Chain A
């Protein structure tokens, strides 16, 4: 028996929207500690990892480890029927073939429930090694979204260069080229959410496909800040932390000049 109740139902909506464009279907792994998910896009360039801790829910019960295969597009459609301030309860029996979504409004005078059919999905799992990243940037999530969106106009590959004087996002295409530089800003006058912190052990320069970064920034509504982690020749990590609940983390393989 699995049952989870979340007062902030809109979070679930945002989480689904943050993943559904990257992966169409995925397995939600439910255990007594919480819900986790790992899935790759069809070309295996990027990966999304979701973690929702049990203590982040208002009520959480999972007697037996369950794997719930869900089509994220369908889940997003079901969640469209959920108002932003509704309380959401997820339910599934052991060995269930459907998951129940129950939405209650704040005054508890309207209750709706939906059943979503589950799927048998072969899960593709990658063992992600612990990496000591050489550069870590924390910045407003909206700012990062804007950079990725704006730069895509010029080209499809962004070069992220972390150096002494900040982080430079640059792109060049047939039309021309562009750069955006973000500098450290931790002054007390700036709201905490708008601060930019850059921690760097050594300069890092890597190329990434903007197409995927723009899939990642679909998670922007989840969190005020986004955290980027980079090291030479390893995938980029883009993390949106949800305080008290968990995180959505994305990995993106860099573009590397071919040796062959």
Chain B
């Protein structure tokens, strides 16, 4: 899932590209959210207390994803965010290898789970394995789509990978950012990636915003080189080269500029290429992905369908009536909140001028100057 080790790399080499903030800071912003990833997260996170597994209705169908999607979406809307949910289409054929691996892992987990259940493993162990067997099905996607449509939230079907279409929407300026945990979205070229949007409020995780332009500046790469870097780090489509991790990959790309040039330089006996290594096809998937045509979309936020929601949630999915009523009430209240405009609407975009940082701290250390060492992702630091 995503690009291996990219987060670490960004922390170390482009700390100012990461910005932590509160969800409320994004009010009035339209954000394209990778729904498939969210569903998967909810299936894992939203569980009954005591490790008794996922929420289910009377018929035994899992409803974790519906509950999760409803409450998190309401929370986002209460913060004033306008979410657009983008659903995965078919997986690209190149992802076959990765998908097969995931299937393999799931099978392992399943057999492990049956073994634990028969032999009576600890509850923790069982829960861990249970989480590994979780898989988002097509029906669950459809259920969530029904829910979102009833809530008046726009839904987009991506022809292929959802992140790619999210990035396309962001590039076309239809939305402000892409909301996903998957760093792939940056490779696909979303100007801004927002992480931790669908995290539980109780976990107090700050929202992390990643700015692609600042990433490229920090890593000293062009976007094409960044794509090559992601491929070398190991993405969903191509395995990484043995012995070349993210840090080495960055160094090589900065030095040689492209995968072709690197392949000519490195010792292939020491770093055998994975078989197959179709990096050119992977590159094409990133530069020219199969996405929705942003101009064909009509993204609109409408009032929620109260009767429809009640019928769907209470009758079909056996949600508690008072909880559904409360949720609908919260949802209706959000409507009035969405009227506050941002100053950018009137004065045009903000020009961010990065603080002039003093040269290398070591160089000025002798004079008793210099900043404190980089600590985490904060874009600014107290001077010493």
Contact = CB atoms under 8 A, between A and B. Distances in A.
B348 to A, nearest CB: 6
Given A45-B342, A258-B338, A260-B301, A120 B383 contact: yes
B176 to A, nearest CB: 11
Contacts of B343: 40, 44-47, 126, 235, 251, 253
Contacts, number: 107
B380 A254 contact: no
A228 B341 CA distance: 19
B356 A45 contact: no
Contacts of A119: 355, 380-383
Interface in A96-123: 97-98, 117-123
B269 interface: no
Contact of A129 (B16, B22, B299, B347): B347
B15 to A, nearest CB: 12
Contacts of A257: 339
A175 interface: no
The SS class assigned to the A binding surface is: loop
Interface string A17-39: 00000000101000000000000
Contacts of B357: 120
B21 interface: yes
B358 interface: yes
B279 interface: no
Contacts of B342: 43-45, 253
A45 B358 CA distance: 31
Contacts of B369: 95, 97
A25 B381 CA distance: 12
Contacts of B383: 97-98, 117-120
B381 A234 contact: no
A249 B352 CA distance: 21
B381 A125 contact: no
A209 interface: yes
A128 interface: yes
A176 interface: no
Interface in B356-384: 356-358, 369, 371, 379-384
Interface in A212-260: 233-235, 251, 253-258, 260
A69 B352 contact: no
A72 to B, nearest CB: 14
A251 B344 CA distance: 12
B340 interface: yes
A16 interface: no
Contacts of B382: 117, 119
A50 B131 CA distance: 55
Contacts of B27: 43
B315 interface: no
Given A117-B382, A125-B350, A233-B346, 12 more contacts: A27-B355, A42-B21, A47-B343, A97-B384, A118-B383, A120-B355, A121-B355, A122-B353, A125-B353, A127-B348, A258-B339, A260-B301
7 contacts: A27-B355, A117-B382, A121-B355, A124-B352, A126-B348, A256-B339, A258-B301
Q: Which 3 pairs, one residue from A and one from B, show the smallest C-beta to C-beta distance? A: A120-B355, A97-B383, A255-B339
Interface of A: 25, 27, 40, 42-47, 67, 69, 95, 97-98, 117-129, 207, 209, 233-235, 251, 253-258, 260
